[in-house]
């Protein structure tokens, strides 16, 4: 679960609302300017005030009665004790209060603001790292053109008309296509007629089907997602996700997208594969942008080929976004290179998932060879059989092997041993989560290269 937020980010309408500010110096002035940009009815209390603030002064000394009817309050004096008193009195009356430089006494805090009205971007570190927040504000200031507000105004002025012409499911797609094309630059250059022409073309596009995004979510760490994956995750209408997609990655999916869990675990299939294929076709034909989110890479033991074959047969547009497969991600985070000039000149990926009769139908004579690394997906429950079969086919009992559980995540656990000792070592370590088996001499390098364990 994600860490709890210290504050809930909101934007508050203050036009015409009374706000009490206690303090008359530079800090109070900065707060008052922001409040007046929002149209607040500022009432100032201070004995000594800057000239710009004098017209707002209603009293020289703070009295709790001054909080009556106020929506918010700000304590911005250079006296911490007075600020605390103002905060306590405001809290007692249910008035939201900000005590400057005192988060513990504050119900709300003022963020760093990037102003491209009507676009407002608020940044906050909950007081933990104001320098970092200032850096990000500076970066955003350079990224957003000064006239960016014109683009928002243009869209806002046309939303009502488009709402009447286009079903809700299609509106987001039209606006995203609009923003991804030449129209925004036309608006910023003052040529709204050219932007209107682009928008009209988008509105008259009558193609009914949606699209399917087959996206690899990688082994678990959200930082390993591709940029394209994140972009598509943010624009989908519905997501079908499996058991290996971590909660941290699901947090990056568009918040109002419909979520359908279709995960598969051993002997526990939420939906048969054919039903998943049918759901992808059905949802796309409803005009939706469907995200099929898979752990690892969709084409490495992910049945991605089966799913897009069904889409192709149905004439549904689709695109595939590769992900870092578990073998690459988990091995790297475990400090085990899959190939090495001295130990492994080849690498083989196989599945340890048994057939219905419980047997493993693998080419054991090819797997039990020196000079290569064998990576076994879904091999935790068949590990004793795998190790025994490799020994029976010619590898020594002391051949290095490892199991990586929950690879790339904060819960990562790596158990190393030999073909003879690894099954018992895994049982002793109570390994139960999603795991990857790595067999080969490269496992010897882990002790030297285990960077992620040391970093964690």
The candidate with the shortest Cα–Cα distance to 78, out of 60, 97, 101, is 101
The predicted pLDDT at position 456 comes to: 39
Helix (H, G, I), strand (E, B) or coil at 75: strand
> Is the distance from CB of 403 to CB of 383 less than 8 angstroms?
yes
Task: Tell me if 24 is assigned to a ligand binding site.
Answer: no
| 326 annotated among ligand-binding-site residues | yes
| Contacts of residue 194, Cβ cutoff 8 Å, sequence gap at least 6 | 182, 183, 186
Q: What is residue 336's predicted lDDT score, i.e. its pLDDT?
A: 97
Query: What architecture is domain 211-324?
Result: 3-Layer(aba) Sandwich (3.40)
Q: Please give the CATH number for the structural domain made up of 327-455.
A: 3.30.950.10
To the question of pTM greater than 0.75 for the whole model, the response is no
Decide if 264 is catalytic. yes
DSSP three-state, residue 394: coil
295 annotated as ligand-binding: yes
pLDDT digits (tens, 9 = 90+) for 385-436: 999 999 999 999 999 999 999 999 989 999 999 999 999 999 999 999 899 9
pLDDT in tens, 220-271: 999 999 999 998 998 899 999 988 898 999 999 998 899 999 986 555 556 7
**How many C-beta atoms lie closer than 10 Å to residue 304's C-beta?**
20
Burial tier of 323 (Cβ tally within 10 Å: 0-12, 13-18, 19+): buried
Is-catalytic flag, 242?
Answer: yes
The full set of domain ranges for the chain reads 18-110, 148-203, 211-324, 327-455
What average pLDDT is seen over the chain? Answer: 91
Query: Given 221, 242, 288, 294, which residue is catalytic?
Result: 242
Q: Which residue among 41, 102, 115, 264 is the active-site one?
A: 264
Residue 177 is assigned to a ligand binding site: no
Q: Which CATH superfamily is domain 18-110 in?
A: NAD(P)-binding Rossmann-like Domain (3.40.50.720)
**pLDDT tens digits along 349-399:** 999 988 777 778 899 999 999 999 999 999 999 999 999 999 999 999 999
Determine the Cα–Cα distance for residues 295 and 397; give it in Å rounded to an integer.
32
């Amino acid at each position: 679960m994600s860490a709890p937020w210290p504050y809930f980010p909101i934007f508050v309408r203050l036009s015409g609302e009374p706000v009490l500010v206690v303090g008359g110096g530079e800090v109070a002035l900065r707060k008052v300017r922001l409040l007046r940009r929002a149209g607040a009815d500022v009432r100032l209390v201070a004995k000594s005030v800057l000239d710009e603030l004098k017209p707002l002064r209603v009293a020289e000394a703070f009295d709790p009665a001054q909080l009556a009817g106020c929506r918010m309050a700000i304590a911005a004096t250079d006296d911490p004790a007075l600020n605390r008193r103002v905060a306590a009195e405001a809290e007692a009356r249910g008035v939201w209060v900000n005590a400057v430089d005192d988060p513990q006494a504050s119900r709300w805090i003022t963020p760093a603001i990037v102003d491209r009205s009507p676009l407002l971007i608020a940044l906050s570190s909950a007081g933990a790292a104001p320098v970092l927040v200032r850096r990000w504000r500076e970066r955003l200031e350079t990224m957003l053109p000064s006239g960016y507000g014109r683009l928002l105004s243009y869209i806002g002025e046309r939303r009502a008309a488009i709402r009447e012409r286009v079903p809700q499911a299609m509106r987001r797609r039209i606006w995203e296509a609009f923003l991804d094309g030449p129209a925004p630059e036309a608006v910023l250059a003052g040529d709204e007629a050219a932007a209107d022409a682009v928008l009209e073309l988008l509105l008259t596009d009558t193609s009914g089907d949606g699209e399917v995004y087959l996206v690899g979510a990688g082994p678990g760490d959200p930082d390993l997602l591709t940029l394209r994956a994140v972009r598509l995750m943010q624009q989908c209408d519905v997501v079908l996700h499996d058991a290996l997609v971590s909660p941290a990655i699901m947090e990056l999916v568009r918040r109002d997208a419909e979520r359908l869990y279709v995960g598969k675990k051993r002997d526990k299939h939420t939906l048969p594969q054919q039903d998943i294929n049918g759901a992808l076709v059905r949802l796309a034909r409803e005009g939706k942008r469907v995200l099929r989110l898979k752990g690892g890479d969709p084409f490495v033991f992910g049945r991605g080929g089966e799913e897009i074959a069904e889409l192709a047969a149905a004439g549904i547009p689709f695109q595939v976004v590769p992900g870092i497969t578990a073998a690459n991600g988990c091995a790297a985070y475990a400090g085990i290179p899959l190939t090495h000039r001295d130990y492994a000149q080849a690498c083989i990926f196989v599945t340890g998932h048994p057939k219905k009769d419980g047997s493993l139908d693998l080419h054991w004579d090819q797997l039990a060879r020196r000079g290569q690394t064998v990576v076994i997906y879904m091999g935790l429950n068949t590990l004793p059989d795998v190790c025994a079969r490799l020994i029976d086919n010619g590898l020594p009992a002391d051949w290095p092997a490892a199991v990586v559980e929950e690879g790339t995540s904060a819960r990562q656990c790596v158990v190393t041993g030999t073909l003879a000792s690894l099954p018992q070592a895994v049982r002793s370590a109570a390994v139960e989560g999603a795991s990857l088996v790595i067999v080969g001499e490269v496992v010897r390098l882990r002790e030297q290269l285990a960077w992620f364990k040391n970093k964690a």
